[in-house]
Each structure stands twice: as structure tokens, then as C-alpha cells.
Chains A and B, each alone.
Chain A
């Protein structure tokens, strides 16, 4: 059970405090309700580029990192298709420094040409490093547009292409900021060795004076239901063939999510899972293979990705995956197997609650998709799932006409 206090400032900023006195540190985590899905299809990669610019100095503080490091703090951030999350940790005595820094960059950025030019170059190098200079690095640049035809999940957070990043203009950056970054479009979670009254005082002092902003309403296109199998073949300079299968499924806060999550666990969580035992250990068809969910806030994907064992034929490997999937649709899992994955979920939740920073991030995500209180209902929701639910989800999701398959072929030497 994670306990917390919750209040909202007059400007709409939601603040949540979770006290954990086992640490001498405190975390300040701000989640902005803005992600790559909110981008213009002709200007993709913008939310992520923007995350970089948030470190380029704010209106009253020329350098973000220096004063934080000065007080023993550290920080980072990440961008997903749904949200952008900023976090820092400081010795508990220096909590106010975190409020000072985070509130100033919510108030306004410095917006310099120099910062934009440099961060464009940095992000382009990031693009190359992660997507073009790694074996299998470009998979998602192709799998997303194969699975999504209308919805903005069709592009990765890094963007569709390097040109979109190179073309970003300072005016676009300013517009983006004032239409998405605002107290009324964010959740602030403070966790660690802190007192709620003190957090309240600091929140009022530093964030209170920031005015509400008008947020561009979110009006995302709906992805039409997929009705036939899609496929794409790529050939690359990699040592082994690989296969990637993506199936459409529900969103993170849909009640079915828990059923599908346990279904993916039966297939691939841990060495006793069906896919691991059958396809790696018994049949030696894959050197590695996983099934997992993207867990997106909008309807997301159930993904299976595997690297083929040397010498195995792509069709045979694909058929073997379908055999496992067909079996989970045709026959109910037994109660023991379901209990096993429920135990694993419960255990992984217990382990995830060791870190005060982790808890802050999880609380913030629950608040933005529904309400923070839901974080304590997770185990119960998983426990309600039955073997019939698993079979129903498999029959609904793991079928050919709901599948997009990317065949990634190793170039013949």
C-alpha cells in the first residue's frame, strides 16, 4: 500500500506527496501531459527535441544543471508517445532547489537560437546512435507505420526522420511550450524524506504564481480496425534473421489491460514461460524471443520479437510462434499457470516499491491516466483475471488479421 497526500493549486497544478523516510533523499518528478502523439505529422520528434531544450536554461536561471549539481542533485528526463517526464533527486535538506529550478522552467524557457541549434545536432546524433548505428536499430521506425495507418503512434518519439529535427524553428518551439507546458497540464509528485506541509508551502511559493495557460485540445485520429494481415520484408547488414509481430490491443487504463498483460506473461515472462520453453529450449528455433505490451495510454500493441537461430528458416520460425499462439487461444491455461504469473506480478510490484523515485514516477502516471489512488488497486485487478479471460483475449487479439509482421532478413554475404 503506497500512501500519499494530494492537493491542487489554484492554477490547476496537481501535487502529490509520498513520504518514505528510509532514504536521506527527496525526488521531484514532473509529468507533463504531452508526448509524441501530440505532434504535427510534418514536424515529428518535436516533443523529444523539446525535452532537450528544457535543459538549455530558463527565463531567470541561465543554467539548469549547475545549481542542481552544486547542491548534490542529479536529474534526467524521458519522452514517450504519451507524456514527457522530468525528474530530479536531491539530499532532503536541499529540496527547495528542486522547486526553484522546476518552477522556473515551467514559467518560461530562455529560448535561445544557440540552444536550439546545439540540441538539434545532439538529437540527430542520438538518432544515428540508437537507430542507425546499432544492429536491428531501425525496427521500430518501420514496425510503427506498418501497424498504425492513421493514429500518431505511427512515428517513434525520436521522429519519423532526421529532416524533421533539422527543420525545427525557434518560433515553433515557443508555440509548443506555451500550448503544452503549463501548471494545468502537469502532475508534480514529491517523494522521499519529505513533509507534506513543507511541500505545500514550497509548491505555493514557487509554482503558485505561474498562471494557467490555454492548452491545445487533444483531438487524435482513431486508428481504424485492422482487418487483414500486413507484412513487410527488410534486408539489412545483420548477422541473423529476426521477426517482429505487432497486434492491436486496448489502452493502459482499459480493464482488459490486466488480462492481456497476464496473457503476455504466460507466453513470455520468465524462463518457465511457454515461448521460452518451447521455442528456445525445446525447439532451438530462436536465440532470444520476447512477448511484451507497449502499455500505451491510447490503444497499444502486443509485440513479439525474436532473433532466429542460425540456419532456421523464417517460415518455420513464424509457424512455430503461431502454434504457441493458437494453443493459448484453443485451450484454457491451467489455474496453476495463471497463479504463477499473478505471483510474479505481485512480487515485481513489491520490488518496484523499493525505490522512492520509481514510486514517484508510477504515482504520476496513474494520476495522469486516471487517479493516483489506482496504484493501490493494481494487485486486486490482476487477481480478478480468470483463465477464461486469458483465452478470450488470445482469441480476440492474437489472430492473423490483427497482426503486422516485420521480417528482418540478414543480408546474404
Chain B
């Protein structure tokens, strides 16, 4: 037998193409679009009802989130306790998501109980009663969670950073004080529901094990007639206001680590430079092998983790480097972060490193499209922008075509020090 050479990596294949299963679109009689992603090995379904009812549409804080999480707190037919009892009995899960633009109710169910759980979903979506007692309990518990979260340096850093780049009251920052919890009115929640949880403001994504019986079941609960219509012309206007204050320090007494956020407002994923910026972000801090991770964690040992992210909102977006470091090395860590940013502006990313990042990214795409449920998650995000998951096929080709030269150009265009915001939360300034 040939002696094994363990120093030599085995031959490997580069992923040239990621096969993204296509979603199919149907329309219910009342014009609600239904996007279908069929597949998976288990007899389970995920049915997500999505409404344009996120933070963007509320006239004051906490309205859209409270409305969303109160949908299952009692309906015309069932009390909150009865609903919980039934969902649990059928082994179904129901989740509530409230984001900047959309809000959704998502049912995970075994196919064999689809009829029963869809009946419950119909109650929640169409006939919620918003009882006063549950309203008080929910707000009081949310307030406690809010105040516990405020004890965390990373939560404070996120809040401050978003306030600086978007403006504190903008839905993309959504910063408010604890007293707001005591000021929310139940009538505002009910009104918000009436205006935004309507059949002409709704889309549905169904993913999982499909057969021909599923769609008619959805049609009979949600499609046969219009249930409530949207009131138009009541959407609040929002202006993005980035602060002139670029550096900020927030005191957190007795913190043994400081939270750091460095970044800037940026465009979203519809921008022609987005693929390039994505690659630039990966090289800098977007994966375990990134330069920030290798330098600040794996070489210096200043942190348990450091990463950088790109966030796409419908009307804006941002780039941020996020880490928590020992109080004593905060200044040194910040200086290394800027060194890594400068290096991207001054030196071309070597070909080997660029190829590695491109290969890693292709693998990430395989992983993130691995199940119908994961695909439905990406689809929800894309539908907001008006496209479907085929977006990622073009995107992967754009990533592959990006050169080191382009990355250096982008770093010089977007990562000028005077454009970057810097937030530190801890016991003392760096």
C-alpha cells in the first residue's frame, strides 16, 4: 500500500453552481399570493402568514410588536389558555416575528394535523380579541425583559450605534425608554390590527412536504373572501438622520469587558456594489478565518469573538464590526481593527485568500439553502424587495467575478475613517 502523505490535502472540487429549488406561486381567490417550496424528508409543514405590519407602520414604539405577540392571547372562539392547550396537543409550534417592515405568524405543524392547526391559525389571524388582562401581563413581562437586556453591554452598544446611524426614533433603530411600556394603549393595538392584518396586505409562504390537499385547505380558511381591508394613507413617514457625532462612549459600571461597534450606514442588497462589499466584509470579519478573527482572537487573544456584518433594510442598510474585549485591551483592539481596515485600502487581497473566501461563501450558500424551511426564510426576506430566491444565483456569479482590485477600490470608497462611527460601552473609554 502506498504510504499516506498526511501533509497533502486531498483533491477537492470547487462549487461552481448552487442549485436553489424554485418556489412556485399560486393566488387564492381573494388575491392573497401563496409561495410554495415543496420538499424535505419529514411529514411537516411550515405556513407563514406575512403582513406589512412591522415597526415601519406604527405611530409610536411597541405597537406593532405587541399587536403581533397578542394575536394568540384570545380569539372569538378560544381563550389564550385554550389556544395554547390545542397547539400543544397537536405538537404544533407557533412563532411570532416582528421586524422593520413585515410581521408574521408562523405555524409549524405535522401534516397529519393540518386541518386542526389551520383552524387555530385562522382564529388567530382573523378573530383575535386582545383581552385587557393578557395585554397587561404581556407588557409587564416585556418590560422586564427589556430592562434585563439593558444590563448587557452588547445590547447597549447596538442601541447606541443604530441610534447614531439611523436616528433614534427611526424604525431601523427603534430606540425608546422603559416608560413607553406604561404608555401603550390597548386601543392603539386594536386599531393597528384592523389597519394592517388584512387580506389585501398579506402574503403566505408554505414550505415542507406538499401534496394536492394542502392548498385547498389554506384557500378555505384564508382565501374564499376578503377579511378586512387595509386603510390606506395612514402610513407614517420616516426620515433617516445620521448623527454628526461619530464617536460615542456609554458608561457601564463594573463591566469586565467593553463592547465595541465600528461601522457605517450603507446601501442594501439591491446596490450594484453589494456583492463586492459582501466579499470585502467576509475577508475582514465575515467568517472564522477572517482577518479580524485571526488577528484579534487567534493571534492576540483579546476576545472570544469578533465579526463584521452587513445588514440590508428595504430603504438602507449598514456595516458593523462587533466585538467584546477585555477592558484592559480595548484600546489595543480598536487600533488593530483600524489597522486591518487600512490594510484592505492599501494592499490587494492575495489571490489565494480571495479564492478561499469565494469557496467558503459558496459552501455557506449550500448550507443556508439546505431545507425547505431555510429556503422559506430567505424567500421571506427577498419578497420584501420584490424578488425571489433566484436572486442568489446571480449573486453567486457576481461574487465569483469580483476581483481583488475591485475590493481595494470599495474599501477606499466606503471605509474612509471619517465616515465610520465608533461606539464603546464599558467601564472606561479605551
A284 interface neighbour in B14, B39, B42, B137, Cβ under 8 Å: B137
| Cβ contact within 8 Å between A100 and B366 | no
| Cβ contact within 8 Å between A69 and B10 | no
Of A60, A94, A353, which is in contact with the most chain B CB atoms at under 10 Å from its CB?
A94
Given the complex of chains A and B, what is the CA–CA distance between A12 and B364 in angstroms? 34
Assuming the contacts A280-B141, A343-B90, A343-B91, asked whether A125 and B85 have C-beta atoms less than 8 A apart, the reply is no
Contacting residues, chain B, for A71 (C-beta < 8 A): 12-13, 359, 363
Assuming the contacts A65-B289, A343-B90, asked whether A353 and B42 have C-beta atoms less than 8 A apart, the reply is yes
* Residue A348 at the chain B interface, CB threshold 8 Å: yes
* Residue A39 at the chain B interface, CB threshold 8 Å: no
Our count of residue pairs bridging A and B at CB distance below 8 angstroms stands at 220
* Residue B278 at the chain A interface, CB threshold 8 Å: no
* Residue B88 at the chain A interface, CB threshold 8 Å: yes
Given the complex of chains A and B, what is the CA–CA distance between A104 and B8 in angstroms? 11
Assuming the contacts A22-B39, A122-B301, asked whether A69 and B6 have C-beta atoms less than 8 A apart, the reply is no
Closest to B352 in A: A70
Q: How large is the interface on B (under 10, 10 to 19, 20 to 34, 35 or more residues)?
A: 35 or more
Closest to A23 in B: B370
Contacting residues, chain B, for A5 (C-beta < 8 A): none
| Cβ contact within 8 Å between A70 and B12 | yes
* Residue A388 at the chain B interface, CB threshold 8 Å: no
Assuming the contacts A74-B367, A118-B301, A239-B147, asked whether A347 and B256 have C-beta atoms less than 8 A apart, the reply is no
Given the complex of chains A and B, what is the CA–CA distance between A206 and B12 in angstroms? 16
| Cβ contact within 8 Å between B257 and A133 | yes
| Cβ contact within 8 Å between B144 and A132 | no
Q: Which secondary structure characterizes the binding site on chain A?
A: helix
Q: A340-354, CB under 8 A of B: which get 1 and which 0? A: 110110111011011
* Residue B360 at the chain A interface, CB threshold 8 Å: yes
A125 interface neighbour in B13, B302, B359, Cβ under 8 Å: B302
Assuming the contacts A100-B6, A121-B302, A133-B256, asked whether A69 and B289 have C-beta atoms less than 8 A apart, the reply is yes
Within 8 A of A (CB), among B280-317: 287-289, 297-304
| Cβ contact within 8 Å between B363 and A74 | yes
| Cβ contact within 8 Å between B302 and A61 | no
| Cβ contact within 8 Å between B363 and A125 | no
Given the complex of chains A and B, what is the CA–CA distance between A119 and B298 in angstroms? 7
Q: B26-63, CB under 8 A of A: which get 1 and which 0? A: 00000000000001111110000000000000000000
Contacting residues, chain B, for A272 (C-beta < 8 A): 81, 84-85, 87-89
Question: Taking the nearest CB of chain A, how far is it from the CB of B241, in angstroms?
Answer: 31
Q: A354-371, CB under 8 A of B: which get 1 and which 0? A: 110000000000000000
Contacting residues, chain B, for A209 (C-beta < 8 A): 4
Given the complex of chains A and B, what is the CA–CA distance between A351 and B40 in angstroms? 11
B residues near A, CB below 8 A?
A: 4, 6-7, 9-15, 19, 39-44, 80-81, 84-85, 87-93, 108, 110, 134, 137, 140-141, 144-145, 147-148, 150-153, 253-257, 287-289, 297-304, 324-326, 355-357, 359-360, 362-364, 366-367, 370-371, 373
**Can you spell out 28 A-B residue pairs with CB atoms less than 8 angstroms apart?**
A24-B370, A25-B366, A65-B288, A70-B9, A70-B356, A72-B360, A73-B360, A74-B360, A121-B302, A122-B297, A125-B324, A126-B304, A128-B256, A129-B257, A134-B152, A135-B151, A136-B148, A206-B4, A237-B253, A270-B87, A271-B87, A272-B89, A277-B81, A281-B134, A287-B145, A347-B90, A350-B42, A354-B371
A residues near B, CB below 8 A?
A: 20, 22-25, 59-61, 65-67, 69-74, 89-91, 93-94, 96-97, 99-100, 103-104, 107, 117-126, 128-130, 132-136, 205-206, 209, 237-240, 269-273, 276-277, 280-281, 284, 287-288, 307, 309-310, 336, 339-341, 343-344, 346-348, 350-351, 353-355
7 tightest A-B CB contacts, nearest first: A72-B363, A347-B91, A121-B301, A271-B84, A272-B84, A60-B6, A126-B304
